[in-house]
Structure 1
Amino acid sequence: MKINRKLVLMMCLVLIGILTLSTTALASGTGDVAGAIEGTWIDASGQIKTVVNKVVFPAIDLILAVFFFAKLGTAYFDYRKHGQFEWAAPAILFACLVFTLTAPAYIWRILGM
């Protein structure tokens, strides 16, 4: 019985905390919620594009380049050991690297931004 009482008390405290710390989000005087969201998205989309173009894509490119050259090195050493060069993994990493290097040129047109 004490466990149920503690559980109910804890749930009430959490609910009171949520109600006191939350705020009501209101749209403009007309109540147009969709318009408020679209306006916020239009303002933020430029910043999102800048961050993705200058931070996210270069980070992905760097990671893929490191993996590509590491895999190329291991494939070369496997070639020296076994006499057969395995092209699949380096080719896939190279294709992904080319895709991410060229993505900023066309990805925003595909997304409609």
Structure 2
Amino acid sequence: MKMKRILTALCVVILLVCMFSVTAYAAGSGDVAGAVESTWKTASQQIKTVVNSVVFPAIDLILAVFFFAKLGTAYFDYRKHGQFEWAAPAILFACLVFTLTAPLYIWSVVGI
């Protein structure tokens, strides 16, 4: 009985894999590298658009919140101890400037 269930489940999985798989052809000539390059050229612009309009602004927002929160805690530490710690706010500010300006030059570095 247990073997019958396993065999039935295996047959269902194989049937689903066959139904939902798609065969990719290299445009008749057999040039697989050319097919991959053309797909990458099409997809790279979409990736660039998504990263510029979604990923970088999200990272900028997170870093800005952390920067101002750390600046506030550093100020309260200054009022309590009389010494201002610049390291953490300076690092967060440098990261924020880097991510704000990254869309201007990152794509030439990556090669897209």
Against the structure 1 CA distance between its residues 10 and 77, is the aligned structure 2 distance closer, same or farther, given a 3 Å change threshold?
same
> What is the root-mean-square deviation in Å for CA atoms of aligned residues?
1.5
Equivalent-residue separation in structure 2 for 1:20 and 1:27 (angstroms): 21
Kindly state the Cα deviation for residue 48 of structure 1 after the two structures are TM-superposed. Answer: 1.9
- 1:42-101 deviations in whole A, cap 9, x for unaligned? 122222222222222122111111110011001111221222222221111111101101
Listed as ranges, the gaps of 5+ residues in structure 2 are none
Is the partner of 1:36 in helix, strand or coil? helix
* Structure-to-structure mapping, 1:23-34, within 5 angstroms: 23-34=22-33
Instruction: Establish whether residue 73 from structure 1 lines up as the match of residue 90 from structure 2.
Output: no
Name the structure 2 match of 1:15.
14
Equivalent-residue separation in structure 2 for 1:94 and 1:56 (angstroms): 18
| TM-score normalised by the chain length of structure 1 | 0.87
| TM-score normalised by the chain length of structure 2 | 0.88
Name the structure 2 match of 1:89.
88
Kindly state the Cα deviation for residue 112 of structure 1 after the two structures are TM-superposed. Answer: 1.0
Name the structure 2 match of 1:101.
100
Provide the aligned length of Structure 1 versus Structure 2.
Answer: 112
Kindly state the Cα deviation for residue 109 of structure 1 after the two structures are TM-superposed. Answer: 0.8
Share of identical aligned residues, percent?
71
